[in-house]
Amino acid sequence: MKIANKTVSAERLVRDALEKAKHFADYNIFTFLNEEGAIARAREIDARIKKGEKVGRLAGVPYAMKENFLSPDGETTASAHILQGFTSPITATSIAKLEEEGAIMIGRTNMDAFAHGSSTENSYFGPTLNSHDKTRVAGGSSGGSAVAVALDIVEFATGTDTGGSIRQPASFNGIYGLKPTYGCISRYGVVAMASSTDCIGFFTKTPDDMDLLMSIASGQDSKDLTTLPDYYNNEEKNPNPQKIGIIKDFDNDSVDSEIRNALASKIDLLKTKGHEIIELEMPALKYALAAYYIIVPAEIASNLSRYDGIRYGFRSDDSKDLDTLYNNTRNEGFMPENKRRIMIGNFVLSSGFYDAYFLKAAKARTLIIKEYKNAFKKCDYILTPVAPNPAFKLGEKTGDPVAMYLEDVMSVPLNLAGVPGLTIPAGKTKNGLPIGLQLIGPRRSDKSLIKFSKELM
C-alpha cells in the first residue's frame, strides 16, 4: 500500500481517494465523505514528515469505514433510519489503533441496516452496486466497504462479519476479506449485531496489507472482555507443506459449476506445490444455517432493544405517550429485515419455545465447534467456496428472505465456531464476475492463514 513520505504527501493520497469516491458516486458506496476532516488530518501528517518526526505505519493511507463503527467523524447510523442524526462521542478501539498509525478515514460506507443481510439491499440509503457489474449486488452486509476497495478508491476498508459480511462481499468483488478468530480484534465501539459471533475485520487487495492491518488492530482490550490475549504477532508459523481439507458433505449440486471449477483448479495448484489434500466429513455443518438463524436473531433482539427513540438518533414525532413513542419510533425506524429478526429472536427466547429452539440451536453450535476441532486434528486448513454463487442480480432475492439466508450457508459455520476465514480471489466467471474461495484455519491461526493464502495466488 502507498504510504505518505517525503515524495508523496498524505494530502495528495487523500485528495486522490476523495476524487475517486466522487467519480464512482453512482455506485452508492459512501453515506458520508469526510472531506474536511481527512484533509486536515493529512496536513498534520505532512507537517510531521516535513519536520522529520516519526509517523505511523499507515501514515496518510486513505481508508473507508463501514458505517457501524463509532467515531465522532460523521454520523454512525449503521445505515438504519432509527440511528439517523446520531453522532458518536467515542471512537471504536480498532479505529483508534488504525488512526494512531496515521490511517485517514475518507468516508463511511453503506451496509445492510444493522448488518442484517447479504446484499446491502437492506440499507436505508438504497443498495450499493457491484464493482464488476452494476446490475448486480455488492454482497453484504459490508457491501460499500468491499466496493470501495475493489474500485481502488481506498487501500483498505473496515468491515464486520457476524455470518459472512466480510467474506461474501469480498468474494463478490474479487478482493481479500478476513474474518479473524472471534476475540482477535476488539468489538468496543462497533454497533452490536450478535455479540457471540460479531467479528471486526478488513478488506484489502493483498495478503501483506491484511497482515499489516491485523498486526496493528489485533490485541486485548479492557473495554471488550471477550478479546483474547495478544497472539497475532507472536503466532508460530506452520512449516510447509500443509494438509488441506476439503469438505465432502457440502452438497455440490447447490454450488455454481464455475465456483466448483475454481475450487478444483486451486486444489490442483496446491497439489503441484506439494501440499496434501484430504477429504473431511463434517456432517454437523448442515445444522449451521438453522442454528445461526436462531442464535443470531436472539442476540439481535436483545441488542436492538436499546433503540427506543429516547437515547439515540431518530424519534417519531406524533407520539402522545411513552408507549406510542417507543412503538412508532421502532416501527418507522427499523427496516423490515430488522423487524423480522427482532420477532424471530423474541419468539425463540420466549418461555414456551426456548427449549425447542434456542437450546437446541446452542447444542448444534457445540457440535459444530467440536467438528472443526476434530477437522483441524487431521488438516492444517480447509478450503471451501464462500457462497454458493457469484454476485446475483439486484432485486433477485429481496422478496424471499429464506433465499437470502441461504446465501450464508457456507459462511456462518465459521462464526458459530469462532474460527478465522479468509476470502481469496479465485478468478472470474465467463461473464466476468469475481469468484472467491475461503481458506479456514483453527482458532488463533490468523497470521499463518494469511501467509498461507499466498500459496493460492
Which residues here bind ligand GLN, judged by CB under 6 A? Answer: 115-118, 141, 160-165, 193, 296, 408
- Whether 165 is a known active-site residue: answer yes
User: Under a CB-based contact definition with an 8 Å cutoff, are residues 167 and 386 in contact?
Assistant: yes
Query: Catalytic residue among 141, 171, 445, 448, which?
Result: 141
For the bound state, the minimum distance from the C-beta of residue 24 to ligand GLN, rounded and expressed in Å, comes to 24
Quote helix, strand, coil % in the chain, to nearest 5.
Answer: 40, 15, 40
In sequence order, the 6+-apart residues with CB closer than 8 A to the CB of 152 are 20, 205
For the bound state, the minimum distance from the C-beta of residue 25 to ligand GLN, rounded and expressed in Å, comes to 25
In sequence order, the 6+-apart residues with CB closer than 8 A to the CB of 373 are 442
In sequence order, which ranges of 111-166 are alpha helices (DSSP H)?
143-150
Q: Convert 330-366 to b/e letters by CB count within 10 Å (16 or more is b).
A: beebbbebbeebbebbbbbbeeeeeeebbebbeebbe
- Whether 350 is a known active-site residue: answer no
Residue 365 identity (one-letter amino acid): R
Query: In which order are the strands placed within the sheet that holds 62-66?
Result: 30-33, 104-109, 62-66, 156-161, 199-204, 176-179, 421-428, 434-440, 381-385, 243-247, 276-280
Q: How many Å separate Cα 315 from the centre of its chain?
A: 29
User: Under a CB-based contact definition with an 8 Å cutoff, are residues 335 and 80 in contact?
Assistant: yes
For the bound state, the minimum distance from the C-beta of residue 162 to ligand GLN, rounded and expressed in Å, comes to 4
Under DSSP, the state recorded for 131 is S
- Whether 141 is a known active-site residue: answer yes
In sequence order, the 6+-apart residues with CB closer than 8 A to the CB of 207 are 176, 422, 450, 451, 453, 454
Residue of 162, 161, 152, 168 whose CA lies nearest to 209: 152
For the bound state, the minimum distance from the C-beta of residue 358 to ligand GLN, rounded and expressed in Å, comes to 17
Residue of 226, 194, 197, 141 whose CA lies nearest to 302: 194
Q: What is the DSSP track for 362-386?
A: HHHHHHHHHHHHHHHHH-SEEEEES
For the bound state, the minimum distance from the C-beta of residue 161 to ligand GLN, rounded and expressed in Å, comes to 5
User: Under a CB-based contact definition with an 8 Å cutoff, are residues 47 and 78 in contact?
Assistant: no
Query: Catalytic residue among 79, 88, 131, 165, which?
Result: 165
| CA distances from residue 268 to 14, 274, 383 in whole angstroms, order as listed | 41, 10, 12
User: Under a CB-based contact definition with an 8 Å cutoff, are residues 413 and 285 in contact?
Assistant: yes
Say how many C-beta atoms besides its own lie within 10 A of residue 220's C-beta.
15
Catalytically active residues are 66, 141, 165
